[in-house]
Each structure stands twice: as structure tokens, then as C-alpha cells.
């Protein structure tokens, strides 16, 4: 099965650019054109219109797109089913990087209690990659910050986590300085609120999208930054930091995600209930 034809088609659906898809797939533009031509020949229909304005799907291309996603997902599932390394039942779970360190142990304990006999592969990652992996079928379930809407993905809001602004120098907003500020950028929703609260500090010379990295920079260099609430508690209790009291916490929504094919399965419903319970208990 020539899955590279499907991969190329679906990448073009996103980029609408033969050049951009060639860059993303690590092939030449002529290879992308050849794959599209081969797929169109196999289907007997033209899938894209190319013009100076860009690349657009034909009506036939629009009709084929959901079938292409389903075919790619089914092929990935089929390969996993016959692979000796994964033939035993294994659920692959993605967890937002910032959530993994403090919550993964409790969650896995409950996953194993609810699904005895199932093996788990856990992969901390960022939201965009997890959504992509769910579409491909290389992840079965994910807990993430930013849903990337796709026709084949289903999202459930679980609750939220909170980030607090801490400083080694002050507890007042007016005393924060650009050269002593570390800009955290954990997710799109977080960044939106961050910009509204501290627009004059968005050009800080240091930035990171990982809570552990921000905390490490703070303990090594001092200064101020937003960190997870539990990290803020540790920094204030053990490292001499202060909460900047006149800047409110930023709430970051958390979502569960799965492929629509798995939405109603008993296994995925049990995983969903497990993570929902932990957020409801907060």
C-alpha cells in the first residue's frame, strides 16, 4: 500500500502549496507532483486545481479528503495490530509536557486500575504534535492544552490548571523589569492572557514554552516568570521567591482528545473518566 500518496495528499490539503509540502515531507516538488498525479490516476479524478493564486481542492478532492484520513488511520491501526512488538494490547497516550511531571503517576495508577491487562505507552509532547499523531493513529488518547480542530478528532474539556507570576526580586507588578523577566509561552490561550496582562514585558530576552525550563531558569538566574501553581508554591517555600500579588493567575484550559473512531469505546471512556475525576477533585 502506497501510504506516501495519502500522506502527500493530506499534507497538501493543509498547506495548499506544492513547495511547502515538499519542504515538510523532505522531498522534491517534482516528487510531490508525481505522487498527486499517481493518486489522481488511481482514482480517475482530479484532486487539485493549481493557479497563480495557489492550490485548491476540486469538488472531488473535497469529497476524497475524509476518506483519505480514514484510510491512513486504518492502515496505521492495521500495522500496529500485526506488529509483534505491539500486537499485545497497548494504548498510546500523549500528555501535555507541563502536565506530565506532576500528574502522570496518579493518572497511570488509575488507568491501570480501570484497564487491567492493558499496557500503556506514555509520551509527553505539545498539543499540535499530539493532534497530528491522533489523526495518524500513532496515539490513541491525549490530554492537551490546545485543540487543533479536525473533522476526525473529538475533544472534551476537562478543567484547567493555573499559572502564577513569581519573582525573586519583588511582589509588585510595577517593579518588574524587562531584563529580569522570562517570557513563558505555554499555549495559545495562555499567550493571549499573558499579552493582555503584561504587554510591556513580551519582548523579554529569555523565553520558553516548558514549565520545567522556566523554573530552572528562575532558580539559576533569578527574575520573574509565570509558572504552574504547584511550581510557584515550591519556589516560594524553598527558593526565596515571592508571588507578584497584584497580577492575577492565568487559567489554562485542559482537554482530552481522541479519534472519532474511538470516542464511544469502553477503553477510551474509562480513560476519559479517570482524567475527569482528577480535574473534578482539584
Residue 24, pLDDT > 70, answer yes
Could you tell me the pLDDT band of residue 97, with boundaries at 50, 70 and 90? very high
Indicate if 143 and 225 belong to the same structural domain.
no
Indicate if 136 and 168 belong to the same structural domain.
no
Indicate if 54 and 130 belong to the same structural domain.
no
- Cross-strand bridge partners of residue 94: 123, 142
When divided into structural domains, the chain yields a total of 3
Helix (H), strand (E) at residue 171: none
- Assigned C-alpha cell, 163: 499559572
Indicate if 149 and 263 belong to the same structural domain.
yes
Task: Centre a 10 Å sphere on the Cβ of residue 105 and count the other Cβ atoms it contains.
Answer: 9
Could you tell me the pLDDT band of residue 53, with boundaries at 50, 70 and 90? confident
Domain range enclosing 132: 90-158+254-280
Question: Between 121 and 73, where is the model more confident?
Answer: 121
Indicate if 103 and 241 belong to the same structural domain.
no
Question: Between 108 and 232, where is the model more confident?
Answer: 232
Indicate if 78 and 109 belong to the same structural domain.
no
Which pLDDT belongs to residue 87? Answer: 44
Residue 16, pLDDT > 70, answer yes
Q: Which of 82, 117, 145 is the last residue of a domain?
A: 82
Indicate if 96 and 235 belong to the same structural domain.
no
Indicate if 151 and 264 belong to the same structural domain.
yes
pLDDT per residue as tens digits for the range 199-247 = 999 999 999 999 999 999 999 999 999 999 999 999 999 999 999 999 9
For residues 149 and 134, what is the distance between their CA atoms, to the nearest angstrom? Answer: 12
CATH number at residue 261: 3.40.190.10
Task: Over range 74-82, report the average pLDDT.
Answer: 70
| Residue among 6, 176, 155 at smallest CA distance from 76 | 6
Residue 25, pLDDT > 90, answer no
Q: How far is CA 102 from CA 98, 105, 144, 236, in A?
A: 8, 8, 14, 17
- pLDDT mean across residues, the chain: 89
Task: Over range 136-149, report the average pLDDT.
Answer: 91
Q: Which of 28, 53, 82 is the last residue of a domain?
A: 82
Q: Which of 51, 82, 113 is the last residue of a domain?
A: 82
Which pLDDT belongs to residue 282? Answer: 63
CATH number at residue 11: 1.10.10.10
Question: Between 163 and 114, where is the model more confident?
Answer: 163
Indicate if 171 and 139 belong to the same structural domain.
no
Which pLDDT belongs to residue 11? Answer: 85
3-class DSSP state of 116: coil
Which pLDDT belongs to residue 279? Answer: 85
pLDDT per residue as tens digits for the range 250-268 = 999 999 999 988 888 888 9
Indicate if 17 and 78 belong to the same structural domain.
yes
Cα angle 243, 247, 251 (rounded to 5 degrees) comes to 95
Strands 141-144, 90-96: parallel, antiparallel or unpaired by DSSP?
A: parallel
Indicate if 78 and 202 belong to the same structural domain.
no
Task: Over range 274-282, report the average pLDDT.
Answer: 83
Which pLDDT belongs to residue 264? Answer: 83
pLDDT per residue as tens digits for the range 147-204 = 988 888 999 999 999 999 999 999 999 999 999 999 999 999 999 999 999 999 999 9
Residue 20, pLDDT > 60, answer yes
Indicate if 61 and 96 belong to the same structural domain.
no
For residues 94 and 122, what is the distance between their CA atoms, to the nearest angstrom? Answer: 6
Crossing angle of helices 3-15 and 29-43, rounded to 10°:
110
Amino acid at each position: 500500500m502506497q501510504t506516501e500518496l495519502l500522506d502527500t495528499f493530506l499534507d497538501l490539503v493543509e498547506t495548499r502549496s506544492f513547495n511547502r509540502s515538499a519542504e515538510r515531507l523532505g522531498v522534491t516538488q517534482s516528487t510531490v507532483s508525481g505522487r498527486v498525479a499517481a493518486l489522481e490516476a488511481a482514482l480517475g479524478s482530479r484532486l487539485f486545481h493549481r493557479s497563480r493564486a495557489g492550490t485548491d481542492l476540486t469538488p472531488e478532492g473535497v469529497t476524497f479528503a475524509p476518506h483519505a484520513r480514514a484510510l491512513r488511520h486504518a492502515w496505521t491501526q492495521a500495522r500496529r495490530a500485526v506488529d509483534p512488538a505491539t500486537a499485545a494490547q497497548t494504548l498510546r497516550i500523549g500528555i501535555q509536557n507541563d502536565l506530565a511531571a506532576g500528574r502522570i503517576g496518579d493518572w497511570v495508577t488509575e488507568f491501570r486500575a480501570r484497564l487491567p491487562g492493558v499496557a500503556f505507552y506514555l509520551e509527553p509532547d505539545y498539543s499540535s504534535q499530539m493532534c497530528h499523531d491522533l489523526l495518524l493513529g500513532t496515539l490513541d488518547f491525549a490530554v492537551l492544552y490546545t485543540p487543533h480542530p479536525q473533522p476526525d478528532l473529538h475533544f472534551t474539556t476537562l478543567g484547567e490548571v493555573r499559572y502564577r507570576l513569581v519573582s525573586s526580586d519583588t511582589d509588585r507588578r510595577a517593579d518588574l523589569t524587562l531584563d529580569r523577566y522570562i517570557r513563558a509561552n505555554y499555549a495559545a490561550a495562555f499567550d493571549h492572557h499573558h499579552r493582555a496582562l503584561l504587554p510591556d514585558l513580551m519582548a523579554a530576552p529569555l523565553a520558553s514554552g516548558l514549565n520545567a525550563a522556566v523554573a530552572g531558569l528562575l532558580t539559576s538566574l533569578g527574575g520573574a516568570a509565570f509558572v504552574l501553581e504547584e511550581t510557584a508554591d515550591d519556589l516560594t517555600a524553598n527558593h526565596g521567591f515571592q508571588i507578584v500579588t497584584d497580577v492575577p493567575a492565568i487559567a489554562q484550559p485542559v482537554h482530552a482528545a481522541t479519534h472519532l473512531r474511538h470516542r464511544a469505546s469502553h477503553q477510551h471512556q474509562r480513560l476519559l473518566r479517570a482524567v475527569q475525576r482528577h480535574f473534578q477533585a482539584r
